Amino acid sequence: MYASRSEEFRLYVIADTHLGTRHSDEAKLRQIVKEIESDSHNYWVGLGDYGEYINTTDPRFDPRELASWLFGGEQLADIGRAESERFIETMSPVKERCLALVRGNHEDAILKHSDHDVYARIIDGLANGHPLRLDHSGFLTWRFERQGGSVWSLRMYLTHGSGGGQSGGNTGNKLEKMVRDHDNVQIVMMGHHHDPDHKPFAKLRPGRKHARLVTVEAISAPALTGYMSYAQAKDARPRPTGYVVIAVTPDKRRLGVTMHS
Ligand SMILES: [Fe+2]
């Protein structure tokens, strides 16, 4: 519910924080939390891989990659718990403004190889009465109602994303596929690739008399973690870290997408 025609809301997209690796940009994450907190029109969604979730029994475990706060007996004994609690604690000040949380492949991997359901722990820890749980992917409808005025629903498709691919065209192809595969949404977004990209696509939609051109904003969100050693070992290209802010003016039905790095 909002009052004025010029009111603007903002949706912060937080992806691939990978808490627990020393490359995770926790300072930037805390700064984003402060920014979200500063205005009641700010909301956020999470696109998965909240923690790195590589515990001591995992063949990928490398002590050189750990964040310093994991070097305690309690933390090392249960890395899944420590990293989930860190994410919950960091995001708690803006818990009420969370609209959805998808599950990343790092949350999947620790559940497959141990019995830690870290995604369920995060969903419980940030529970706010909204149905936050989208699992790997799903739709989110954000409904805006002006006092005594119009109602508008902004529909989005959110996914963690999947697959590798180092070529420059890979991310663009994935964005195009997301737009093609999902109808009646104004925004599609993915994380996982750590490869910031934003492209508006046009689609034709039949109307009563004429076909209408609709725009779909396709977003690949940057990660909030830097160049990890395993990416370097595979000669992956380094990519900028950051986050996305989607500005929404419901009365004008206007969207503006900004990449922050
Ligand atoms: Fe991922």
| Domain regions of the chain by residue span | 9-260
- Mean pLDDT, to the nearest integer, of 178-185? 96
160 C-alpha to ligand 1 centroid (Å): 7
Q: Collapsing DSSP states into helix, strand and coil, what is residue 229?
A: helix
Do 220 and 174 touch, CB atoms closer than 8 A?
A: yes
Compute the mean pLDDT over every residue in the chain, rounded to the nearest whole number: 93
Tens-place pLDDT, residues 31-47: 999 999 999 999 999 99
Amino acid in the structure at residue 199: K
49 C-alpha to ligand 1 centroid (Å): 5
pLDDT of residue 160: 98
87 C-alpha to ligand 1 centroid (Å): 16
Pairing of strands 98-101, 42-46: parallel
Per-residue three-class SS string for 28-70: HHHHHHHHHHCCCCEEEEECCCCECCCCCCCCCCCHHHECHHH
pLDDT of residue 4: 83
pTM, two decimal places: 0.95
205 C-alpha to ligand 1 centroid (Å): 33
The conformation of residue 167, written as its DSSP 8-state character, comes to S
- Mean pLDDT, to the nearest integer, of 212-231? 87
Assign 192 a pLDDT band (cuts: 50, 70, 90).
Answer: very high
**How many of the other CB atoms lie within 10 Å of CB of 202?**
9
152 C-alpha to ligand 1 centroid (Å): 32
Assign 240 a pLDDT band (cuts: 50, 70, 90).
Answer: confident
User: What is the CATH architecture assignment of 9-260?
Assistant: 4-Layer Sandwich (3.60)
Which residues are CB-neighbours of 207 under 8 A, at least 6 positions away?
none
Protein residues near ligand 1, an ion, with CB under 5 A: 49, 104-105, 192
51 C-alpha to ligand 1 centroid (Å): 10
Tens-place pLDDT, residues 96-153: 999 999 999 999 999 998 889 999 999 999 999 999 999 999 999 999 999 888 899 9
pLDDT of residue 234: 61
189 C-alpha to ligand 1 centroid (Å): 13
Q: State how far the alpha carbon of 155 is from the alpha carbons of 29, 72, 140, 142, 226, in Å.
A: 26, 44, 6, 6, 31
105 C-alpha to ligand 1 centroid (Å): 5
Asked if residue 227 has pLDDT above 80, the reply is no
48 C-alpha to ligand 1 centroid (Å): 7
